[in-house]
Amino acid sequence: MRKKTVVLGVTGGIAAYKAAALTSQLTQKGIDTWVILTESAARFVTPLTFQTLSKHHVFVDTFEERDPAVVSHIDLADKADLFVIAPATANIIGKMAQGIADDMLSTTVLATVAPVLICPAMNVHMYAHPAVQRNMNILKEWGYHFAEPGEGPLACGYTGKGRLAESESILTHIEYLLKKGNRKTDLKGKRVLVTAGPTREKVDPVRFFSNRSSGKMGFAIAEAARDRGAEVLLVTGPTSLPKPSGVITYPVESAEEMYHAVMEKIEEVDIVIKAAAVADYRPKEVHDQKIKKSEGQLIIELERTKDILFEIGKRKKHQFVVGFAAETKDVEYYAKDKMSRKNVDMIVANNVKLVGAGFEEDTNVVTIYVKNGQEISLPKMSKREVADAIFDQIMGLLEQRE
C-alpha cells in the first residue's frame, strides 16, 4: 500500500470525529493522506487535528491558494489514487449527484478521475428519504462506491440505519479499491450472459410461487460487465429495477422461459453468470380460473423445473461458467458440492441469514469458490463492488488458460 494517495473529504456531521481516527490509520499504513474539511466539518473537529495526523496542510477554503504553481482543488483531484468522503452527509451526496461545486470539497471531487468511496452517515429518516436514496442510486450508476452505514443508536437519539461504517470496514474498502485501481476495460471483445431476479411459477390467474430475489446482484453484474467493455445479455425475471442502459435485456417470467432464453444464447457467449434465483419446483397443474377459497386444506402438487445451471455445465465448451449458491447453513459444503455436480468453474456463495448478505439488500457478503481450489472471502460490500471482484477473479483465471 506504499506510495498510494488518498484524499479524504470530511463533511459536517457528528461522525466527523471518527474521520480523525481514520486519518491516523491511513497514515500509519503508509498511505499519503490529504484532508479536505467542509466549513461545517471544521465546527466539529479543527483542521489542526487533521494536519497533525496527516502531516499535510488541511484544505477548507476553495480560494486559499498556498502554492501559486498549482490550482489547489485541481492539484488535489489529480493527486488522488482514491477519493474518500467520510462521513458523507445528505448534503454532499445531493451536491455530487447534481454536479454542484460550491466549496472546496464538492469542487475537488467533481474534478477527480479517481475512484470515489462514499461513506454515508446521517439520521435514519434522512437516509431513507426518497431524495437521498435517488441521489445515491444516481452515484452508484455512475460507478461510485459506497461503504454502507451501520444500524444502531444514533447521536440524534433515534435507532436505525445511518451510523458511519466502522473504520475497519472503511479501511477494507479503501485497501480493496487501491489495489483494484481505476475502472478496467478488460472485458472488451467478450460476450457475457447474466441471469437475474426471481422466477414466477403460476398457480392460477392471480397467484404464483416465487422468492425474495430483487435482481440487484444480477443487475450489478450486468452493469459491471458493460462498464468493463463487454457486450452483455441479461435474462431477467420480474423485478422493479430499471433496465440497465447499454445492456441487451430479455425479460422472462417462469423458470421454463428462462431456460429457453439461456439455451438459445449459450453458444454465442464467452462468460455465463447465473445469478438468478430460479424456482426449483412449479405447480404440476396451472388452473385457468382463480381457485376459490373453501373449507379444509388446499393441496398443490409440485414438479421439478429444468435445472438451468446443470444444463449449462453439460453443454459448455469454451465458456467460463459461474453459479451462485444462496445458503442458510454449511455454505462451503453446499457450494463445493454444487460446483462439482454442475460442472461449473466458479461458485459465488453467501449465507443469506447474515446481516447485509440476504435478498433485497444493497450489499452482499460472499465467498468465491474456484474449481482449482481457490477460496476468496470478501467483506461486506455493495453488490456492484462484489460484481467487480467476481470479474477480477474471472479475468485472472482466463489469463491462466491462455
CATH number, residue 169: 3.40.50.1950
Residue 182: is its pLDDT beyond 60?
Answer: no
Residue 152: is its pLDDT beyond 90?
Answer: no
Give CA–CA dist 35/108, Å, rounded. Answer: 11
pLDDT at residue 8, rounded to an integer: 98
Antiparallel, parallel or unpaired: β 367-370 and 381-382: unpaired
Same domain, 13 and 150: yes
Is 119 an active-site residue?
no
Same domain, 346 and 218: yes
Grade residue 91 by pLDDT with cuts at 50, 70 and 90: very high
Q: Is 139 part of any domain?
A: yes
Q: Is 95 part of any domain?
A: yes
> Domain with 350 in it: what CATH number?
3.40.50.10300
Express each pLDDT in 265-300 by its tens digit: 999 999 999 999 999 999 999 999 999 998 889 999
Residue 191: beta bridge partners? 231
Express each pLDDT in 186-216 by its tens digit: 899 999 999 999 999 999 999 999 999 999 9
- Residue 152: phi, psi to the nearest 5? 155, -170
Grade residue 321 by pLDDT with cuts at 50, 70 and 90: very high
Round the average pLDDT of the chain to a whole number and report it: 92
Residue 2: is its pLDDT beyond 70?
Answer: no
Give CA–CA dist 50/63, Å, rounded. Answer: 20
Same domain, 62 and 92: yes
Same domain, 175 and 236: no
State the burial class of residue 129 (Cβ atoms within 10 Å of its Cβ: 0-12, 13-18, 19+): middle
- List all residues 6 or more positions away from 326 whose beta carbon is below 8 Å from its beta carbon: 277, 349, 350, 352, 359
Q: Is 186 part of any domain?
A: no
244: left (phi over 0), alpha (psi -120 to 50) or beta: beta
Point out the catalytic residue in the list 131, 156, 291, 355.
156
Residue 97: is its pLDDT beyond 90?
Answer: yes
Same domain, 122 and 256: no
Residue percentage of the chain with pLDDT more than 90: 74
pLDDT at residue 1, rounded to an integer: 44
Residue 397: is its pLDDT beyond 60?
Answer: yes
Same domain, 19 and 150: yes
Q: 150, 180, 210 — which closes off a domain?
A: 180
Express each pLDDT in 137-151 by its tens digit: 899 888 888 888 887
Same domain, 29 and 82: yes
Q: Is 185 part of any domain?
A: no
Domain that holds residue 95: 5-180
Same domain, 218 and 290: yes
Same domain, 198 and 137: no
Same domain, 209 and 71: no
pLDDT at residue 70, rounded to an integer: 83
Q: What is the mean pLDDT of residues 246-259?
A: 96
pLDDT at residue 359, rounded to an integer: 86
Express each pLDDT in 154-169 by its tens digit: 888 888 888 898 888 8
Grade residue 184 by pLDDT with cuts at 50, 70 and 90: low
Same domain, 135 and 201: no
Express each pLDDT in 351-360 by its tens digit: 998 888 878 8
Same domain, 30 and 53: yes
Q: 153, 180, 207 — which closes off a domain?
A: 180
Lowest mean pLDDT among 88-92, 162-166, 242-246: 242-246
Q: 130, 150, 180 — which closes off a domain?
A: 180
Contact 95, 60 (CB under 8 A): no
State how many domains the chain has: 2
